[in-house]
């Protein structure tokens, strides 16, 4: 059976996985890019955006692993874009231009229905209005034997953690303090929910922490 995973989530020392005030100008929120400064120099990220070169060390290895081998993704509404409330039209199709980096069926959690969007490169966005369990059921059907990645944001990851639906989680702990933002573990008792730290791997710009669910 495929696993449900979280990978490459940048986390500050004070526990935030995104900055405040997400907008078109600040997709990761104010100060949010500091959480992903480990990811931006990697060969994986640069090639995703049509460039050449980039670093190929430990950070890049985890970045590449997080973007490959997935059968489906699940995203929260905020991860898909800054539009709030009912969809005003069909113009917004995500942050990523005409070819998003997913290349597989991608399920977006929302309270407002919308027709699927088929994008270049194999990504089709499906909009799920009846919660995380429905999204996961649909993602499993699409993924087959491959893993399903919960892409974020923080509130979406918390929902899946609280329901005990995440099998493995990879966090890239950054040596920064945001002060405020989107907390990843607020209100959760991970030990009580059955999670433990599996391993820790220092990288070039982050410490990679792996949390697993005890069977």
Q: How far apart are CA 150 and CA 153, in angstroms?
A: 9
Domain boundaries, the chain: 4-18+31-83+103-213
Q: How far apart are CA 50 and CA 178, in angstroms?
A: 30
| Cβ neighbourhood burial of 172 (10 Å; 0-12, 13-18, 19+) | buried
pLDDT at 49: 87
Going by their DSSP bridges, the two strands 16-18 and 168-173 should be labelled as: unpaired
pLDDT at position 80 is 96
| pLDDT above 80 for 167 | yes
Q: Tell the burial category of 69 from Cβ atoms under 10 Å away from its Cβ (0-12, 13-18, 19+).
A: exposed
pLDDT score of 148:
98
CB 87 within 8 A of CB 114: yes
Q: Does residue 19 register a pLDDT over 90?
A: yes
Handedness of CA 190, 192, 194, 200 (dihedral sign): positive
| Residue 85 CB neighbour total at 10 angstroms | 8
Query: Which superfamily is assigned to 4-18+31-83+103-213 in CATH?
Result: Dihydrofolate Reductase, subunit A (3.40.430.10)
Q: What is the pLDDT of residues 32-73, one digit of tens each?
A: 999 999 999 999 999 998 899 999 999 999 999 999 999 999
Cα of 196 vs its chain's centroid, Å: 20
**Model confidence at 142: pLDDT above 80:** yes
The predicted structure's pLDDT at residue 24:
87
Least confident of 58-62, 79-83, 173-177: 79-83
pTM confidence score: 0.96
Mean pLDDT, all residues of the chain = 96
Would you state the pLDDT for residue 67? Answer: 95
Does residue 202 have a pLDDT over 80? yes
CA 166 to CA 175: how far, in whole Å? 25
- Does residue 111 carry a pLDDT above 80? yes
User: Residue 162 above 80 pLDDT?
Assistant: yes
Local confidence band at 201 (pLDDT 50, 70, 90 cut-offs): very high
């Amino acid at each position: 059976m495929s696993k449900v995973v979280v990978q490459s989530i940048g986390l500050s020392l004070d526990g935030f996985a995104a900055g405040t005030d997400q907008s078109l100008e600040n997709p990761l929120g104010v100060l949010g890019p500091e959480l992903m400064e480990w990811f931006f120099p990697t060969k994986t990220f640069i090639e995703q955006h049509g460039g050449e070169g980039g670093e190929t060390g430990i950070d890049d290895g985890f970045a590449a692993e997080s973007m490959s081998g997935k059968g489906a993704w699940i995203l929260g509404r905020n991860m898909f874009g800054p539009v709030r409330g009912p969809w005003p039209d069909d113009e917004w199709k995500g942050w990523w231009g005409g070819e998003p980096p997913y290349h597989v069926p991608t399920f977006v959690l929302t309270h407002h229905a919308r027709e699927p969007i088929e994008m270049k490169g194999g990504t089709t966005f499906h909009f799920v209005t009846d919660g995380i369990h429905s999204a996961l059921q649909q993602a499993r059907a699409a993924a087959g034997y491959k893993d399903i990645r919960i892409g974020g944001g923080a509130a979406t990851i918390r929902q899946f953690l609280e329901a005990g639906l995440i099998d493995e989680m990879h966090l890239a702990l950054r040596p920064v303090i945001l002060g405020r933002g989107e907390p990843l573990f607020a209100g959760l008792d991970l030990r009580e929910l059955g999670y433990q730290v599996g391993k820790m791997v220092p990288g070039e710009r982050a410490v990679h922490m792996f949390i697993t669910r005890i069977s």
